[in-house]
Amino acid sequence: MRACVPLIVAALCSLAWAGNLESCASRCNEKFNRDAACQCDRRCHRHGDCCEDYEHLCSVEEDPKEPEPFLELEEEMLEAPPGHLYSAPSSCQARCHEAFDRHQPCHCDARCPEFGNCCQDFEGLCGHHEGFSYSSDAITKEELQSISEKIYRADVNKAQKQDIILNSQNRISPSEARDQVDRCPEPLFTYVNEKLFSKPTYAAFINLLNNYERATGRGEHLGAQQLAEQDAFLGAVMGTAVLKELDGFLRQQNRYSSEQEFVNDLKNMWFGLYSRGNEEKDSSGFEHVFSGEIKKGKVTGFHNWIRFYMQEKEGLVDYYSHIYDGPWDSYPDVLAMQFNWDGYYKEVGSAFIGSSPEFEFALYSLCFIARPGKLCQLSLGGYPLAIQTYPWDKSTYGNGKKYIATAYVVSSTQ
């Protein structure tokens, strides 16, 4: 009989522990716990998984002013060695007003804000010097939030609630994302109304996705048809209310003098080829961000829901889990997820869900033009959102302008 006592005690302890995981007692503001029956973290109300006593026990302890943490940067940026693409460029120390020199990795002349190729300390060191009419932050945070809300309202081609049924399943903590464990047995997309894909901008976007070699180090060789598809996509998106809002805003900010100048710049920054691997021109901003690439055995880029859905439908993408689900109750929404792409893992892959191609293209372009290499704080439907962009620093086009290296949603922020 005595031998049973430890087992009984252990069972009672186990029941008490399990019961504690159904309450917020002593658990207020703890991190997400996937073993718990319900949650007590700051975002549980957003995900609908709070314990029943959450409001009673925890709401008074919340600090609503505390911003949510940003999602982790892409693996390529975390692992970049000193002197690599994403390291801090040279300084403007003693270089303000110097003449443009295409051999310099960054610039300190009066026009560098216009071309998005200033050194990171340009504003602090040169912004108040005589002869500089505006700084790299000439577009204010308030202006960015205003234009992003206008773009959000103009996205008439976005998916409606009934167009997509999403099965996000298990949410994990950021620290668990490195485990490479598939915690979601079902696909992410239960249903997508593919009539969306017949809309002109969707169709033009999808035509571009099969134009690339996903492995870096293999040169991209685009023929006349592929180049024509780029022009067709640009023509389609420029005809939308979304890009008309962005074009009007940027011209009002004196960034472009005409629509054609804007279109030409979009084509260069997004579709211009450069080398991520060896000497071959093997990459572009569009390929990286929207189609996805494989570098050093990992998925890089791949931040588009349409691409994800189509690859998942073909059995090439296996959805593993997610670490962030945005606050929007309609589309577009934001999801940061883990997945396997035909044998290669993506640890943190953030993407808009249900947005039109022109919406993503416009927001990423806006942030790259207004805040290249910086956090770009926007507002969508009254909720804050941040986008991170990085320029490609190893090669340039037209007066030292830089190509897009990457662009992606990092989190909501305040």
Amino acid identity for residue 114 in this structure: E
Place of tokens 């883990």: 338
Residue 54 — φ and ψ, nearest 5°?
-60, -50
Q: Is 128 designated active site?
A: no
Q: If we measure between CA atoms, which residue out of 336, 334, 326, 337 comes closest to residue 354?
A: 334
Q: How far apart are CA 5 and CA 1, in angstroms?
A: 7
Q: How far apart are CA 49 and CA 62, in angstroms?
A: 17
Say whether 224 sits in a helix, a strand or coil. Answer: helix
- Catalytic: which of 158, 303, 322, 402? 303
CA within 13 Å, CB half, 69: 11
Q: How far apart are CA 129 and CA 359, in angstroms?
A: 37
Q: Is 221 designated active site?
A: no
Q: Is 244 designated active site?
A: no
Contacts of 329 (CB under 8 A, 6+ apart): none
Say whether 406 sits in a helix, a strand or coil. Answer: strand
Q: Tell me the Cα Rg of the chain.
A: 24
- Catalytic: which of 107, 288, 295, 402? 288
Q: If we measure between CA atoms, which residue out of 411, 388, 382, 380 comes closest to residue 148?
A: 380
- Catalytic: which of 158, 295, 322, 346? 346
By annotation, the residues acting in catalysis are: 288, 303, 346
